[in-house]
Structure 1
Amino acid sequence: MSKLDKPVVIGIAGGSGSGKTTIAHKIAGQMHANDHILIMTQDSYYKDNTGVPMSKRMKINYDHPDAFDVPLLKKQLDQLLHYQAIEMPTYDFKAHTRSSKTIHTEPADIIILEGILVLFNESIRNLMDIKVYVDTDDDIRFIRRLERDMNERGRSLDSVIKQYLSTVKPMYHQFIEPTKRYADIIVPEGGENDVAIDMLTTKMHSILNRNEK
C-alpha cells in the first residue's frame, strides 16, 4: 500500500538532447530504495498516425505541440494519480506512428515525466509538484540528437540535419524555450550538473516526508 495520499509528480522539460532523460534517471538513482518511482517520457504520447500515408508521416513536425496526444497523456496521468494502472502507448519512430504494443504500467509514489514540451500545456503543468527546465547549449543538444537519431532511430545524417534546421531549431525557440518561465528550477549543463540533481533529490525527499500519511 502507498504511503502517500497522491503521487508526487516532477516534470522535466528542455530541448531535444538537453539531458532530460539523464537527469530523470539520476534522480531516480538517488531516491530511497523503498520509494516506488515511475519515469514517463512524453515521446510515448505522439499522436497515432496509422491512417496517414507514409509520405505525410515523414513530414510531421514532431517538435510542435500539436504532435502530441495531450488528452491521452492527461487521462493516464490522472489515472496514475489515483493509483490506477495504465496501458502506456509506445511510438515507432521508424514507422512514424504509434505502435500496436502498449506497456502495462503500475502506479508509483513518484512520477517523473520528461519531454520537450511537458511544461507547455497548462492542464499537464498543473498536475506537477516540481517543474524543471534543462538548459543546455544548442551545439551540444544538436550533437546528442544527431547521435541518437542515427544510432537508435535509423535516420540518415542528411535527414537529421535537414529536420534540425527546418523544424527542431525554430520550434525550440518558438515553443520549448519559452516554457522556461514556468519552471521552479532551471538546470544548466543538463545531466552533468550534480549540484542541481542533489537539490532536486533533496526537494523530492522533503515533499515525500511532508506527504506521508
Structure 2
Amino acid sequence: MNKPYIIGIAGGSGSGKTFFLKCFLEHFSADEVCLVSQDDYYFPVAHHMTKEENMYYNFDLPSTIDHDHFEADIDSLMNGQTIVKKEYTFNNPDAIPKMLEIKSAPIIIVEGLFILHFKKIAETLDLKIFIEADNDIALQRRLKRDLLERGYSHEDVMYRWANHVTPAYKEFLLPYKGECDKIIVNNSHKAEDIICVTEEISRDLRQRVLI
C-alpha cells in the first residue's frame, strides 16, 4: 500500500465542519477514506467534576487533548494499521460510548480545532483545509447544537463562547489560516453550496490520489 494521502480539516466551533465532513465522506466508499477526529482524544474528566465545575472547565485548550495518543493513532493509520478507540461522549453521563474501529484507507481525514497547532500532526498533512464562518453565524450554530443536542443552558453556552471558544480560536487556530491550501467560507444556510465544494475537492482527489 502506498503512503495514504492525509487531509487536515480545521475550523472553529460553528464553522460547519461536521456538515462539510458529512457531505465530503458521501463521495467515497469506506475502503477509500477514513476519518479520525480530535474530539475522540479528550482526556476524560467528567467523573471528577460537579456540574458547575464542568461548566467552567475549559475544553478549548490543547492541553485537554491526549495529543500523544492522537499522533500515535494517525501514525498507525499511515502505516496501514487499524485502530480501535473509545468514542468521546462530551461529558454526557447518560451516553454510552461506542468502540470505534477505524481502518486505514488511501485517504485519511484528520479533523479538529488544534490539528494545525500540533506541529507533528500538521507536518503529516498533504492538504490543509480551513473552514470558517462569520462570528454571529457560528454562534447561532453553537447555540442550536448545545441547547438542543447537549442540554446546556443559554448562560453556559454564552459563558463558554466568550471565555473559552473565541480566545482559543484566535490563539490556536486563526494564526495558521495562511498556511492552509483551501479556505472555505461557510456562511450559507444552503446545503447545496457545501455539497458543490465537496464535489469539486473529491473530483480532484479521484484524479490525483485514487488512480
Q: TM-score range by the shorter chain?
A: 0.7 to 0.9
Q: TM-score by structure 2 length?
A: 0.85
Q: CA deviation at 1:64?
A: 1.5
Hey, what does 2:41 align to over in structure 1?
A: 45
Deviations, residues 25-64 of structure 1 (Å, cap 9, x unaligned):
2222223x58522122211111122673335444321111
Q: 1:117 aligns with which of 96, 114, 117?
A: 114
Distance 2:152 2:122 in 1: 32
Distance 1:17 1:71 in 2: 26
Q: Is the 8 A contact 2:9 2:109 kept in 1?
A: yes
Q: TM-score by structure 1 length?
A: 0.84
Q: 1:90 aligns with which of 68, 84, 87?
A: 87
Coordinate RMSD, CA, aligned: 2.4
Q: CA deviation at 1:132?
A: 0.4
Letter aligned with residue 186 of structure 1: I
Distance 2:186 2:70 in 1: 28
Letter aligned with residue 56 of structure 2: K
Distance 2:47 2:146 in 1: 24
Distance 2:194 2:102 in 1: 30
Residues 161-200 of structure 1 mapped to structure 2, 5 A cutoff:
161-189=158-186, 192-200=193-201
Q: CA deviation at 1:172?
A: 1.4
Q: CA deviation at 1:20?
A: 1.2
Hey, what does 2:9 align to over in structure 1?
A: 12
* 1:73 partner SS: helix
Deviations, residues 90-149 of structure 1 (Å, cap 9, x unaligned):
2222348x9765322222222222212221111011121110001211111111111111
Unaligned runs of 5+ in 1: none
User: What is the percentage of aligned positions where both structures have the same residue?
Assistant: 30
Distance 1:136 1:53 in 2: 32
Distance 1:67 1:164 in 2: 17
Deviations, residues 49-98 of structure 1 (Å, cap 9, x unaligned):
267333544432111121211101100011111111111232222348x9
Distance 1:112 1:52 in 2: 32
* 1:62 partner SS: coil
Hey, what does 2:78 align to over in structure 1?
A: 81
Q: Is the 8 A contact 1:94 1:153 kept in 2?
A: no
Please say if 1:136 is aligned against 2:133.
yes
Distance 2:91 2:151 in 1: 7
Paired residues in the alignment total 205
Hey, what does 1:126 align to over in structure 2?
A: 123
Distance 1:101 1:163 in 2: 27
Unaligned runs of 5+ in 2: none
Closer/same/farther in 2, CA of residues 34 and 91 from structure 1, 3 Å limit = closer
Q: Is the 8 A contact 1:21 1:114 kept in 2?
A: no
Q: Is the 8 A contact 1:15 1:116 kept in 2?
A: yes
Of residues 52-61 and 6-15 in structure 1, the stretch that sits farther from structure 2 once superposed is: 52-61
